[in-house]
Amino acid sequence: MGELDGHLDVGGCTLRFFDAGRGPTADAANEADAAGAAGAAGAAGAAGAAGTRAVVLLHGAGADHTMFEMQAAALGGAGLRVVLVDLRAHGLSRPSAIPLAPELLASDIERLIDHLELGEVSLVGHSLGGNLAQELVRRAPERYGSIAVLDATWNAGPLTVGERAALRLAEPMLQLIPSARLPKLMADASATSERARAALARTFGAMSKREFIDVWRATTEFVHPDASYRTPVPTLLVRGECDTTGNIARAMPAWAAADQLTEVVVPGAGHVVTLDAPGETADALVAFLR
């Protein structure tokens, strides 16, 4: 896949994105050669026309938009307007001159949605992106038609004493890992297939250790237990059967039960289900969003 051709100044960062529904009347800030976003995103663009229902894909911590290649193509083929983005401090949206925080990440995506005039949007978020999707819906549920949360914890879900301790200890433990070893260790822990691990090692390796730890801290700050909160829009939950990240394997079934949601567990997949099981994940998203 080529470079993301859209760009939006969000303060301290230039957010890079690809809008499959943007036609020849795009504004000057987004004029670029669409051939630069070839491959899966290009296939999505052939089907996603301006005015159709839009879906914004939000990647995980340390990853970038390429983790959604097959899913973007499938959703575009199903007639959806697909928007891919590299979140602030990730991929082509690096560097960020402002420290990461949940509020900042959420406002970036809200500004992008407004900039593209997408109207009511569906969100697909993996890990950090899944936490971000939940936060966006909490802030303004009327703006979103549905969300699909992939391999992310339940922001509002209850935490055990052990889980609270694990959140506090995660950053100090990451600090102890040598910088040169961190990308491979994170990739190996995140995926079960060698192809997926290689792709993740590349994206993790593009970030410095300091950058990754800042991203990790922002991810944990999305978690705010609230026993009274219920998900206000149609929601699909997807996780890899072998995902052992954080409390996801416990929190997702609990969330599904509490809010009467559908949970799809993909056999053999790890934390990054879009890369370990791209076809199965695409099928689940198309069936939900179509």
Going residue by residue through the chain, which has 290 residues, state the pLDDT in tens, using 9 for 90 and above: 346 999 999 999 999 999 987 643 334 333 433 333 434 444 444 334 445 799 999 999 999 999 999 999 999 999 999 999 999 999 999 999 999 999 999 999 999 999 999 999 999 999 999 999 999 999 999 999 999 999 999 999 999 999 999 988 888 999 999 999 999 999 999 999 999 999 999 999 999 999 999 999 999 999 999 999 999 999 999 999 999 999 999 999 999 999 999 999 999 999 999 999 999 999 999 999 98
Give the CA dihedral 49, 61, 126, 58, nearest 10 degrees.
Answer: -20
**What are the backbone dihedrals phi and psi of residue 168, each rounded to the nearest 5 degrees, phi first?**
-70, -35
Report angle CA 75, 78, 79 to the nearest 5 degrees.
Answer: 100
pLDDT at residue number 125: 98
pLDDT at residue number 170: 87
- Would you say how long the chain is, in residues? 290
pLDDT at residue number 21: 78
pLDDT at residue number 3: 65
pLDDT at residue number 51: 53
Q: How far apart are CA 129 and CA 259, in angstroms?
A: 20
Model confidence, pTM: 0.90
**Burial (Cβ within 10 Å: 0-12, 13-18, ≥19) of residue 96:** buried
